[in-house]
Amino acid sequence: MTSVMLTCDFSKQFSDTFSRVLDEAAAQKSFVNIFHVIDLPIAIKERQLPVSCVERGVLKFLREQSEREFALLNKRLNRMAVPVSFEVSFAAERNERRHERTVL
């Protein structure tokens, strides 16, 4: 048994790709791992947050919202009950242009 890994951004392109991957995974008897990364303005590790209900509540809300949205998408597209795992993580934005200098 093999596995396929995809990153999820909930776009139309992801839905189309996910649908094709599910068909292929069903034929190959493999499973699918989906990773959804939520960009934040700073790097953050959920377990190392200061004891602030606001930050924890926001991260919990973002995680749960992503999980609900993916569950609906998986229910709609995964007609052959292919095993799928879904993981949400938080990362800092990596905007390389922020560090570039403009020369005129």
State how far the Cα of 74 lies from the Cα of 36, in Å rounded to an integer. Answer: 14
State how far the Cα of 24 lies from the Cα of 26, in Å rounded to an integer. Answer: 5
CATH assignment of the domain containing 33: 3.40.50.620
7 is a domain residue: yes
23 is a domain residue: yes
Residue-wise pLDDT for 50-82, tens only, equals 545 557 778 888 999 999 999 999 999 999 999
- Model pTM score: 0.73
Using a 10 angstrom Cβ sphere, with 0-12 exposed, 13-18 middle and 19 or more buried, the burial of residue 27 is exposed
- The Cα-based distances of 32 to 6, 17, 44, 61, 77 in angstroms read 8, 12, 26, 25, 13
Share of the chain above pLDDT 90, in %: 56
Q: Residue 18 sits in which domain range?
A: 3-94
65 is a domain residue: yes
- Structural domains counted in the chain: 1
87 is a domain residue: yes
99 is a domain residue: no
Name the more confident of 37 and 98. 37
